[in-house]
Structure 1
């Protein structure tokens, strides 16, 4: 059997007929093969890892440059003065009316004129039903949400009867704060129910409608009960 096999002979590549002579790799080729390609792979990997974070940061910067929406009984509350996104409005010395509410809306709030009119009407109806003073802020709070909402409340002409609703569309956070008198007419359950309705509407892409429904709910819940002192008393016969 051994006669069928001959010893294997290794022939150098440069001696094969028809092949060009081998050349030593240049320094550039070496760098490309052992440095450039790994660096490219690492760059792609880093981009895949950091792309979501960069996208969130870009959205945060865009949101920070947008003016929020403020609808309230005063056109320039003190708590908003430190927020550069909300410009101070003139005419604050005049008695405010629902028809002249100051509106700052741009970009992320994305309310149509018709939706803003609906929000104004809902505020007016809630005021009329309850005797309280409802205000609305839609945008990213300049401070911690609760502290920001309380700052808006204290800036109202009559904080005791004020109700301030703060809605952050980006985080879908809701804060509803009430003054001393308003707290007697609105309990925590009413506010929680209204906030849950806004969050559901925001999830469904109907933020304006959700806020309108919440204001209607709060206005009805805080409805003033007519006094019975002037009613005819019933005296049983003896």
Structure 2
């Protein structure tokens, strides 16, 4: 371990070592001289323990291995990926991926432009998603063909189809409503039919009861008829036995 200066700090958490006096490990194999504290080993890094790194004389910091989780290294990785993509695009289609020409300084010796012009150049490389597709060559016949823009006729046809679909949906809702109403009416008719059946059964029972009563009354009236017949027969027999004189009426004379 080297003696920590006043401005030395942990590369991952940016904590000053002079202020907090933490144990740390220095990267000396590549010459970057970055230091990493013991707390970052246990919380933010997945490269073993602090004791293993301290005992290893050929220890390499996370920046050298490319596994550093800090924001500075993340921005550097994004920048490297961007430039790598730019170089690949130049190799594939140099005519389309070549950035637009920009003005340099007034000396004309190829001096680098200022930061604002660099940002403009980066923005002009891919103005839209279509330019990115064209630059990669994905718009050729070997890949997916370009989709033509819809014509006014197609838009009108689509609107008509949407209106027809809405009308069909409304008619379907109306039909469902009528079916629901018909089902309610059928249920009411069934209830009325059951009530009528009950009334009809009650009326038939009453009629049967009345018929039974009439039959009983007729059975009770039979003896009276037989007595009348017997009386008539006796009368006839009595009349036949009587003499004609006895049949004459008897007149009473006043004395």
Q: Shorter-chain TM-score category?
A: under 0.3
Higher strand share: 1
Structure whose CA Rg is larger: 2
The structure that is helix-richer by fraction is 2
